[in-house]
């Protein structure tokens, strides 16, 4: 997955002149689909986030950039710019609330090397401020009802992974769970009107759930059989599908960092009798360079029926061959999504 292909290089060059497309199956044979390069030039694109207002934010961990991507109607192509870098070394998790002009991102301060949460105005990059100080490198970031949630991998030892709740108004940081292993991605999903925080463990592809309304753990809900180093992920509740006991079923899409895959599996919430479900992953697409994050599109210019994948793994800041790749309409046959404001192909 770390090796670049001539087809990707050609697509990147094509992107400079407009919209680049990857031929069907050019990055892998797991599933025949169309792929599109949305943005490029990254060394380690760690997380991606749609603010719902036509912006895609990407954190480049290695270069120390927060990049904004948007659909430019005038040129009929995607545009990108460095949104924030001043005073920071690294950027990681990104989150926002629909309709809110502020976007929150985990960053490392250049002067002190402390990890902080920064809020920045989506339309005015010069407006930003630190709202909280963290006790370590917060990787994923999610937001619900005014609170932020982040996961820290720790030292990759059992019990070192931690999950925190952050109040951006007063800077308070509260430990929710301090007994995970390599906690990485976080995602908040409304499940039967109940807000649920999902947390992935990178090294063993396990998924944990927390009730956001009570901050109580719902336990380990999935232990996936296909070992892939599941980095960040997203999930939807499968409509009209409940497991025994009328438990809702989740469809999870994950970035398989180790094998260069986008994977998917189903799991009930909570698992039966507090036992962890052991679903088998299937590979949606492969051939990526160390994929780190996957999200469905939201907002003008991005398809809600597509999955957008960020690539990481660059060893040096000078590396610039990682991209954001759209799996065009990959979700159409899998789920029912609203489709609007789709850019032309």
What are the DSSP calls for 265-332, one per residue? EEEESSPGGGPPB-PPPEEEEE--SSEEEEEE--STTS-TTSEEEEE---SSTT---EEEEEETTTTT
Residue 271, pLDDT score: 59
Residue 258, pLDDT score: 87
pLDDT one-digit tens code per residue, 245-277: 677 889 999 999 989 999 998 888 875 555 667
pLDDT greater at residue 285 or residue 278: 285
Q: Whole-angstrom Cα distance, residue 247 to residue 320?
A: 45
pLDDT band for 281, please (50, 70, 90 cuts): confident
**From the centroid of its chain, how far is CA 263?**
13
Model confidence at 35: pLDDT above 90: yes
pLDDT greater at residue 135 or residue 13: 135
Q: What is the mean pLDDT of residues 76-84?
A: 95
Facing residues of 242 across strands?
Answer: 248
Residue 219, pLDDT score: 80
CB within 8 A of 81, min separation 6: which ones?
67, 68
Residue 273, pLDDT score: 56
pLDDT band for 126, please (50, 70, 90 cuts): confident
174 close to 148: Cβ distance less than 8 angstroms: no
Q: What is the mean pLDDT of residues 322-336?
A: 83
Model confidence at 239: pLDDT above 90: no
pLDDT one-digit tens code per residue, 188-200: 998 888 899 999 9
Model confidence at 163: pLDDT above 80: yes
Burial of 321 (0-12, 13-18, 19+ CB in 10 A): middle
Residue 155, pLDDT score: 67
307 close to 294: Cβ distance less than 8 angstroms: yes
Residue 339, pLDDT score: 39
Q: Which of 69, 55, 49 is nearest to 142 (CA)?
A: 49
Residue 140, pLDDT score: 92
Residue 310, pLDDT score: 98
- Give percent of the chain above pLDDT 90: 53
Residue 227, pLDDT score: 62
Instruction: Calculate the average pLDDT of the chain.
Output: 83
Model confidence at 31: pLDDT above 80: no
Residue 77, pLDDT score: 95
100 close to 55: Cβ distance less than 8 angstroms: no
Return phi, psi of residue 341, to 5°: 50, 40
pLDDT band for 133, please (50, 70, 90 cuts): very high
Residue 157, pLDDT score: 60
Return phi, psi of residue 9, to 5°: -60, -40
């Amino acid at each position: 997955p770390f090796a670049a292909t001539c087809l990707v290089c050609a697509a990147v060059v094509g992107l400079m002149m407009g919209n680049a497309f990857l031929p069907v199956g050019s990055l892998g044979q797991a599933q025949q689909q169309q792929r599109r390069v949305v943005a490029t030039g990254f060394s380690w694109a760690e997380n991606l986030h749609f603010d719902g207002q036509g912006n895609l934010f990407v954190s480049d961990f290695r270069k120390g950039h927060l990049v904004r991507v948007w659909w430019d109607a005038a040129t009929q192509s995607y545009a990108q710019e460095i949104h924030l870098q001043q005073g920071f070394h690294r950027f990681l998790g990104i989150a926002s609330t629909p309709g809110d002009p502020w976007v929150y991102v985990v960053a490392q301060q250049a002067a002190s090397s402390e990890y902080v949460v920064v809020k920045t105005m989506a339309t005015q990059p010069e407006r930003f401020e630190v709202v909280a100080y963290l006790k370590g490198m917060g990787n994923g970031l999610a937001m619900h009802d005014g609170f932020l949630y982040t996961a820290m991998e720790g030292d990759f030892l059992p019990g070192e992974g931690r999950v925190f709740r952050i109040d951006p108004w007063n800077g308070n940081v509260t430990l929710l769970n301090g007994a995970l292993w390599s906690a990485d991605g976080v995602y908040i999903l409304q499940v039967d009107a109940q807000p649920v925080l999902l947390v992935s463990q990178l090294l063993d592809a396990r998924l944990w759930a927390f009730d956001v309304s009570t901050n109580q753990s719902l336990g380990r809900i999935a232990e996936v059989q296909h070992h892939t180093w599941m980095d960040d992920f997203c999930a939807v509740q499968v409509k009209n599908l409940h497991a025994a006991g009328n438990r809702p079923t989740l469809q999870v899409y994950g970035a398989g960092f180790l094998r260069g895959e986008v994977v998917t599996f189903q799991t009930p919430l909570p698992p039966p009798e507090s036992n962890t479900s052991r679903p088998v992953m299937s590979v949606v697409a492969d051939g990526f360079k160390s994929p780190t994050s996957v999200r469905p599109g939201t907002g003008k210019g991005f398809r809600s029926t597509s999955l957008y994948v960020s690539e990481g793994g660059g060893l040096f800041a000078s590396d610039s061959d990682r991209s954001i790749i759209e799996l065009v309409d990959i979700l159409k046959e899998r789920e029912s999504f609203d489709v609007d404001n789709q850019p032309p192909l």
